[in-house]
Structure 1
């Protein structure tokens, strides 16, 4: 699936500029890497992006929301490649995901918002909606493709389908995030192949 840029909804009804939004989100990520969460301010982001601070406040209510959107834009670069088989497709997206996670701006942003969300339910919900739920599109696409190939059978109903998507996403995201950001071990082609073998075996047994 082609990557998509994220354009937050304007609360004032004014025309939005995709170029300005991209500059603001990029400036946010740069500021996080250089300053860290505690020193990051919307004023600094506005200066870096070359926009007025009021422009940021019209589009994002605060720092939490801005940083989540800045991180979400990075994950929107992910695509589910068609490499001819379910296993090869999973390996491809796992390697893409890991490559994004090791970027300094991703590590700084993701770890900051996750830490803040431990005591902020609204922030946790924004992370779920803006990052987690949006990236489940990859699982939906890969599962549908595998079903068309005959590699996976169709689910018996929408509840089973939703449960399968959640499980696959949690297994992939959990394993790759832990290995990349917690244990700081490489996610290379050999690891991706071994992980995928276990995952595909489990999916086969599940059906």
Structure 2
């Protein structure tokens, strides 16, 4: 039997810190964002934040890329609909994160261990959820068996990220339809 020492973690502090981070990243450039400003906005302290997140980049990553309903694999009833919904959800996640992306990418490029740790947050979604999704689609004869979950995730995230960076606005329905069609052509049997 193990006993946890100390006070249990207060989820309200976690939520306030994540919300404050997401708000501030939309107001100030990533390089100017400080843990002190986040703590002040969240109504907590810097030590409370550092007990939960090892660095600013870890905190920002979690705040701008939440894992939840938006990262669940969709089930619209058709492969084309599912792919379109994946692209829409990725755009919905990346659009507010756009201000943080240059800073996050720079920090991940400079520290391979950080990169691995941050990608691990999405590992279950990509490897298990998307892998199962693709296996089912292969079994139905809709997707080529050589398509991997990692490749599909990279393609969806890549096309969406480039669109957000070059267009400066969230993709519209016409763009979502074209992107989903492009994905479908790339993975279909």
Q: Answer yes or no: same fold by TM over 0.5.
A: yes
Question: What is the aligned counterpart of 2:100 among 109, 125, 144?
Answer: 109
In the alignment, is residue 120 of structure 1 matched against residue 111 of structure 2? yes
Unaligned runs of 5+ in 1: 1-11
Distance 1:194 1:34, change over 3 A: closer
Structure 1 length-normalised TM: 0.75
Spell out the pairing of 1:144-159 with structure 2 (5 A cutoff): 144-147=135-138, 149-152=140-143, 155=145
- Per-residue deviation, 1:94: 0.8
The aligned length equals: 184
| Counterpart for residue 25 of structure 1 | 18
| Counterpart for residue 46 of structure 2 | 53
RMSD of Structure 2 on Structure 1 (CA): 2.7
SS at match of 1:34: coil
Question: What is the aligned counterpart of 1:98 among 75, 91, 103?
Answer: 91
| Counterpart for residue 196 of structure 1 | 180
The superposition leaves residues 68-95 of structure 1 with CA deviations (integer Å, 9 ceiling, x where unpaired) of 2222326763333221111111111211
The superposition leaves residues 147-197 of structure 1 with CA deviations (integer Å, 9 ceiling, x where unpaired) of 4655347x5xxxx6xx61111111111111111123436533323223323
> Where do 4+ consecutive residues of structure 1 move more than 3 Å?
147-150, 182-186
Unaligned runs of 5+ in 2: none
In the alignment, is residue 66 of structure 1 matched against residue 55 of structure 2? no
Contact 2:86–2:156 (8 Å) recurs in 1: no
